[in-house]
Amino acid sequence: MPSTRPLTFRDYADLADHAASAYETIRDINFASRIIEDMSGSTLDDPLFERYKKLHCSVTPLDKVSDDYKMIVKYLEKTYEPVEVGDIRYGVSVENIFAVEVSACPSLDEIKKLQNKVLLWCGTRSSNLLRHLQKGFFPSVCSLPVSGYMFGRSIVCSDAAAEAARYGFTAIDRPEGFLVLAVASLGEEIKEFSNTRALEEKKIGVKGLGRKKTDEKEHFFWKDDIKVPCGKLIQSEHKDSILEYNEYAVYDPQQVSIRYLVAIKFDEQGVAYDTAEPEQ
């Protein structure tokens, strides 16, 4: 939040743009600190494992030769575009993938009973990762800065890893981050739009149509009937949309099941460093 000069919050849009994200970050850091607590005390058990048990979430590394691992890497590579920070562009590489079972989220068997299921990318900051693993996703007014107040208080994901990566980026000197893959049920009726800026909440499922979309000819189904919109990013017919990529909003946390945690590393592209030693 601004600290060098007074800032007047004129409306809810100002709160969403300038205050909500900072308050959520403080909340999530506080949540993480309560889980970690003081690790300096003596204990017979592994202190790290004791904290892991508090999450009530199983985290299992995927075998790198498994079909699911290969599918996720393909989904990332197909739907990613470099993140730009200043004059530097960052590509991404997969360091590891973890299958997760969050006790607060519906299981895969439960989510499969629902309709219109899609495997989607969700951006997450390091500060709120522990909260997601213990409590799942909460509807938020600023899930994403632009779409937060467009969609209302909702859980927002995208079929483009490029969109999620904007929020997984940490810092130039800390290039490691995480992306989340979740199965979202969009329900019986899906509301699509490209240019409206005011949507009522409580829609079963909302899809914002971006200026770019994934090539539908490359989409496929996973686990029987879960759609994976994995395809090369191409220009859509919605050139005037306020969204760059497709985004999906769900209002009921029980319609979203976190399935994978993807550990990634951001790599600088097209940067040449002078490694020559200075002359004496």
Render pLDDT for 223-247 as a digit per residue (tens, 0 to 9): 989 999 999 999 999 998 889 999 9
**Segment 248-276 mean pLDDT:** 82
Q: 83: closest CA among 176, 177, 165?
A: 165
Q: Percentage of residues in the chain with pLDDT exceeding 90?
A: 40
pLDDT of residue 75: 97
- According to the model, what pLDDT value does residue 203 have? 54
Closest residue by Cα to residue 208 from 272, 266, 144: 144
| Residue 13: per-residue pLDDT | 67
Residues 142, 130: Cα–Cα separation, whole Å: 18
Q: Tell me how far apart the terminal alpha carbons of the chain are, to the nearest angstrom.
A: 48
Question: What was the pLDDT predicted at 145?
Answer: 41
* Average pLDDT score, the chain: 80
Q: What token pair was written down for 143?
A: 């899930």
Q: Which amino acid is at 204?
A: I
Task: Report the CATH number of the 53-268 domain.
Answer: 3.90.228.10
Question: In this predicted model, which residue has the larger pLDDT, 40 or 97?
Answer: 97
Residue 21 has pLDDT above 70, yes or no: no
Per-residue pLDDT tens digits for 163-210: 988 876 665 667 788 899 999 999 887 888 776 554 544 557 889 899
**What value does the mean pLDDT take over residues 12-24?**
63
Cβ neighbours of residue 4 under 8 Å, at least 6 residues apart?
none
Res 51 pLDDT > 80:
no
Q: What is the pLDDT of residues 55-97, one digit of tens each?
A: 788 999 999 999 999 999 999 999 999 877 777 788 889 999 9
Ramachandran region, residue 179 (left: φ > 0; alpha: ψ -120 to 50; beta: rest): beta
- The confidence band for 100, taking pLDDT boundaries of 50, 70 and 90, is very high
Backbone angles phi, psi at 272, to 5 degrees: -105, 130
Measured between alpha carbons, how far is 196 from 39 in angstroms, rounded to an integer?
50
**pLDDT number for residue 151:** 76
* pLDDT of 144 above 50: no
The torsion angles phi and psi of 213, rounded to 5 degrees, stand at: -140, 165
Written as one letter, the residue type at 176 is: E
Lowest-confidence region among 79-88, 96-105, 148-157: 148-157
Dist. CA 274–CA 1, nearest whole Å:
38
Does residue 147 surpass a pLDDT of 50?
no
CA dist list (Å): 235 to 84, 122, 220: 19, 21, 20
At 17, is the pLDDT very low, low, confident or very high (cuts 50, 70, 90)?
Answer: low
Measured over the CA atoms of residue 260, residue 169, residue 240 and residue 149, the dihedral's sign is positive
Examine the pLDDT at 266 and tell me if it is beyond 60.
yes
**Distances 29 to 19, 23, 169, 200 between C-alpha atoms, Å:** 16, 10, 17, 31
Q: Where are the domains of the chain?
A: 53-268
Between 56 and 212, the higher pLDDT residue: 212
CA 276 to chain centre: 40
Q: Tokens in use for 99?
A: 């299958």
- Is the pLDDT at 122 greater than 80? The verdict is yes
